[in-house]
Amino acid sequence: MNRFLKDKEHLFRMAALFAAGAVLFLIVRAVLVPKGFGVYGHYRAGALADNRMRTPHFAGRAACIECHTDERDALKGGKHAGVGCEACHGALAKHAGDPSASKPVKPDARTICFTCHLANVAKPKKFPQMDPKSHFDGGACNGCHSPHAPDKEPKK
Ligand code: HEC
Ligand code: HEC
Ligand code: HEC
Ligand code: HEC
């Protein structure tokens, strides 16, 4: 007998171990990989349907201005024309779906503006920023800026 195969049992044991490992891998893989995985690429196809089932929290500007035409007109042509209603008012799909069921709280005109305008060196230079210490002596921003048309006079 070939002297290389004289003590061959350990090779068979090794091969059997590998085979068992491979089978185990295939079983675990079959159990763990969800149905539909790979249909559209490296994710579960059913995730699309699952996401569609979730209730949206944002209604979108188009929905808001169907009812709030005054605000639509106020934003038009002003510097906030491109800012979404819900960027300031928060997600309001529930209110938009049934205004009588949930009345939104008005955003606080002392704090909401800071989320975007508080001066910060990390912000692009051309984005309008303000340092409250030097900008004004307290009070609310809407004393001088209308939130919906901040570059125009506030509506009193
Ligand atoms: C179907 C019509 C409708 C839609 C759509 C709608 N609203 Fe309203 N909204 C109303 C009505 C009616 C009121 C007044 C509710 C009350 O006084 O009880 C109101 C009240 C508000 C108020 C409070 C006003 C106040 O004086 O306190 C805010 C803020 C507001 N809406 C923002 C929004 C935003 C932002 C959206 C879009 C996400 C939106 N609304 C979508 C009808 C609508
Ligand atoms: C830059 C932030 C901002 C954006 C964008 C914005 N709002 Fe407002 N909105 C405010 C603030 C702040 C108030 C509260 C003003 C106050 O207390 O006098 C307010 C008040 C309101 C009110 C109550 C009525 C009033 O004038 O006090 C309604 C209704 C409203 N917003 C709807 C909208 C709709 C609809 C849009 C989008 C078309 C929108 N807002 C976009 C900040 C914003
Ligand atoms: C979600 C972000 C956001 C919030 C919140 C926000 N703004 Fe703005 N604001 C903007 C953007 C975007 C512009 C337009 C910037 C541009 O034209 O380059 C702007 C422009 C302005 C300008 C005009 C600056 C100029 O160049 O003339 C003023 C004033 C202003 N905002 C005040 C306010 C006030 C007051 C509030 C609070 C009621 C507020 N903003 C809340 C995003 C925001
Ligand atoms: C006492 C009145 C007053 C108050 C209160 C006030 N502002 Fe202003 N703000 C002004 C005036 C006037 C200008 C225009 C001055 C200029 O162009 O330099 C201005 C300009 C701005 C600009 C544009 C700055 C730029 O460099 O383009 C921003 C952003 C702004 N304000 C945000 C705010 C915010 C946010 C608040 C509340 C924290 C606030 N303002 C409160 C009077 C006020």
Residue 32 lies in a domain: yes
Tokens for 40, please give them. 């559209």
Report the distance separating Cα 105 and Cα 114, nearest Å. Answer: 18
In degrees, rounded to 5, the angle at the alpha carbon of residue 65 between the alpha carbons of residues 62 and 67 is 125
Are 110 and 117 contacting, i.e. CB atoms less than 8 angstroms apart? no
Residue 26 lies inside a defined structural domain of this protein = yes
For residue 23 the two structure tokens come to 């089978």
Answer yes or no: is the C-beta of 88 below 6 A from any ligand 2 atom: yes
Is 29 contained in some domain? Answer: yes
Comparing C-alpha atoms, which of 108, 112, 128 is closest to residue 120?
Answer: 128
Asked if the structure places residue 79 within a domain, the reply is yes
pLDDT tens, residue order, the chain (156 aa): 577 777 888 899 999 999 999 999 999 999 999 999 999 999 999 999 999 999 889 999 999 999 999 999 999 989 999 999 999 999 999 999 999 988 999 999 889 999 999 999 999 999 999 998 899 887 789 888 999 999 876 644
**Position in ligand 4 atom list of the atom nearest CA 118:** 35
Write down which residue in 37, 53, 69 finishes a domain: 53
Same domain, 139 and 66: yes
Residue 154 lies in a domain: no
Q: Which of 148, 152, 155 to mutate to test the pocket of ligand 2 (most atoms within 8 A of CB)?
A: 148
